[in-house]
Structure 1
Amino acid sequence: MGDGEFHIETMNREELETVLHWARHEGWQTGLNDADAFYHIDPEGLFIGKIGDELIGSVGGLVYDKLYAFMGLYMVKEAWRGKRYGKALWDAAMMRLDGMGVKIVGLDGVHEMLLQYEAEGFRPAYDHVRWRYEVNGSEKLLPTVFNASEKDWNAIAAYESQYELELRQGFTARWLNIPASWSMYWADHQHGEIKGYGAVRECPGGYRVGPLYAHDVTVATELFEGLCTQANSGGHMFLDVPDVNKVAIRVAENRGMEKVGSFMRMYRGGIPSVAIDQIFSVRSVEVG
């Protein structure tokens, strides 16, 4: 146990690695190499709670650009729970967001925290249902699906801007450059108009698919199969699917995927309009 008083600091890059280790230990299946992409969204919005030098809790209140932010990585180590340290961390992050004039704040939370989040002014929008799919070797890479390389990054960033409430400067390039990850896009011909994009990164127990954006179910299905061809046969692919996208849910069910969890997407400041019927797996429940 740490000695000294509880205090809150801005998290550094090394401390974020520790927090992501906590998240994986809690079963969040955070990507094995997410830290760099997460950290550079908004370094000043990452908070760490300490007793002396011991890290005991965390939260991220990450501003995308100016008006939208996402709350995540909200954890307190088990030995220190029930002492209001989590609430102090939460208040520090929200105070910063309020001071910056952020209009809408989103989060993905566990259902057990619903009443607490509602007390903070958040309202449920829908659930992200986590599905697990076992790669079986029958998946095919079709001619409409292409591996994304660095020369494609600007086009992919432009395409996925329709699913972002605000542009996160440089974020797409960092996401596509995560170690032990791969990404693909769907187009009628190479370097043609992009109508779908997906990325996969390694996580405990398999691979996290996120995002998976597609104009329609055919694009989504072909992209998903293409992404699976890069995974080990027998490996598990995890998708976080909005439950209001009924087509995406049917795809998961028809492919024999197993439902293994869910998170509440909640907002404070109003529920924004997004093309939810084209989101077949959200990018991240940790940072939006």
Structure 2
Amino acid sequence: MAEIPNFSLVRASSQRDYSAMNRHFSDWLQQDDPDNWTVGIHDFPLYSIIDPNGLFMGVLNGEIVVIICAVNYNSDYSFIGAFWANPKYRGKGMGTHLWNAGLKHCGFRTIGLYAAPGMVARYERDGFRQCGQSGLCEIRTDNILANRRSISENIVDYNNTGHIPFEDVAQFCRKYSPADRRDFLKAWIAQAGCMTLLYVKNHIIKGLGVLRRGCESGRYLLGPLYAGSKDIAVEIMADFVLRISHPSVIYFGVLKDNPDVEQFVKDAKGRFHEEVATVMYRGQNIPHFDVNGVFAVTCGDIGG
């Protein structure tokens, strides 16, 4: 395709690059809709743990104007997300350059993504097919959540206890994840400023939730929230709310293939946003995991 004067494609390769992508993505989201969504403070540096070569920036006259994450989990599976541009520079072809670079980086792997409503047809032209739906949800902590007033005796704060081996956590999460991502998981659940809660009964992990701070004050992101039942998911969510000392908003993404997810959101006094994303894949080896236990995806930018 035609070259764009003073535009270059750059592969992010340092913590400075990852942090710059994080900052720009947050700014662009706020420009699009300041009351809708946010990004975690440490998201992009942590994405690089999965694939340090899979984060790309489009730079125009020295300014980052478009970004994409195309992370390769292994030799079989990739995920594309965080495909976003500065609102001032959309429609000028720069995103297409990054999209093509992301596809090239993924190679012949099966690729997953979550498509916004206006992008489904575009991705279908590149061989992606529809495989489900993902919804965005929010909970306001000043609402009464499931009539809870005290923290459950089955809830364990993972980062403030030393008696639960990480290997047990990784094994629990694996059946709800599209790929084995232990190194990423280890960093994700211990990131600065996050809370990681486990639901443990009879010394067996039956639920896990991670709540991280968003870039905007008073906003949090939940993900993942894995649980053996809807009731366990509600208990974990309720405990998160009890541990937040000021009125806040918690955002999270869900997979609508989970038959209990709508009741979970209702029980947790949450609400669905109107926009629904389409889960799409290209390739033959679509990952299989227990969607019935996924009550919040880790992050829509990296899937599952």
Give the TM-score normalised by the residue count of structure 1.
0.90
Q: Report matched runs for 1:1-288 at 5 Å.
A: 5-12=6-13, 13-25=15-27, 26-27=29-30, 28-98=37-107, 101-102=108-109, 104-136=110-142, 138-139=147-148, 140-149=150-159, 151=162, 152=164, 153-189=166-202, 192-203=203-214, 204=216, 205-260=218-273, 261-270=275-284, 271-288=286-303
- What is the aligned residue count? 281
Read off the aligned partner of 2:290 and give its amino acid letter: A
Q: Tell me the SS of whatever aligns to 1:246.
A: coil
- Asked if the contact 1:135/1:232 (under 8 Å) is kept, the reply is no
- Asked if the contact 2:134/2:277 (under 8 Å) is kept, the reply is yes
Q: Tell me the SS of whatever aligns to 2:302.
A: coil
- Asked if the contact 2:22/2:42 (under 8 Å) is kept, the reply is no
Structure 1 residues 43 and 253: CA distance shift in structure 2, 3 A: same
- Asked if the contact 1:199/1:211 (under 8 Å) is kept, the reply is yes
- Asked if the contact 1:24/1:30 (under 8 Å) is kept, the reply is yes
Q: Tell me the SS of whatever aligns to 2:178.
A: coil
- Asked if the contact 1:213/1:278 (under 8 Å) is kept, the reply is yes
Query: 1:65 deviation in Å?
Result: 2.1
Query: 1:184 deviation in Å?
Result: 0.8
Query: 1:33 deviation in Å?
Result: 2.4
Query: 1:16 deviation in Å?
Result: 2.5
Distance, in Å, in 1 between the alignment partners of 2:59 and 2:233 is 44
Distance, in Å, in 1 between the alignment partners of 2:123 and 2:171 is 33
- Asked if the contact 2:135/2:272 (under 8 Å) is kept, the reply is yes
What do the CA deviations read for 1:226-282 (whole angstroms, capped 9, x no partner)? 222222342222221111223121121233312224322211114432211110000
Runs of 4+ in 1 over 6 A off after TM superposition: none
Distance, in Å, in 1 between the alignment partners of 2:220 and 2:141 is 10
Range 34-43 or range 15-24, more displaced:
15-24
Aligned partner of 2:33 in structure 1 is none
**Identity among equivalent pairs (%):** 22
Distance, in Å, in 2 between the alignment partners of 1:251 and 1:176 is 23
Distance, in Å, in 2 between the alignment partners of 1:16 and 1:112 is 27
Query: 1:42 deviation in Å?
Result: 0.8
- Asked if the contact 1:199/1:227 (under 8 Å) is kept, the reply is no
Distance, in Å, in 1 between the alignment partners of 2:10 and 2:25 is 19
Distance, in Å, in 1 between the alignment partners of 2:122 and 2:5 is 28
Distance, in Å, in 1 between the alignment partners of 2:25 and 2:200 is 36
List runs of 5+ in structure 1 lacking aligned partners.
none
Aligned-residue CA RMSD (Å): 2.0
- Asked if the contact 2:58/2:94 (under 8 Å) is kept, the reply is yes
List runs of 5+ in structure 2 lacking aligned partners.
31-36
Give the TM-score normalised by the residue count of structure 2.
0.85
- Asked if the contact 1:159/1:194 (under 8 Å) is kept, the reply is yes
- Asked if the contact 2:56/2:67 (under 8 Å) is kept, the reply is yes
Q: Tell me the SS of whatever aligns to 1:22.
A: helix
Query: 1:6 deviation in Å?
Result: 1.9
Query: 1:177 deviation in Å?
Result: 1.9
Distance, in Å, in 1 between the alignment partners of 2:58 and 2:302 is 19
Distance, in Å, in 1 between the alignment partners of 2:229 and 2:12 is 40
Range 226-235 or range 83-92, more displaced:
226-235
Read off the aligned partner of 2:176 and give its amino acid letter: Y
Read off the aligned partner of 1:20 and give its amino acid letter: N
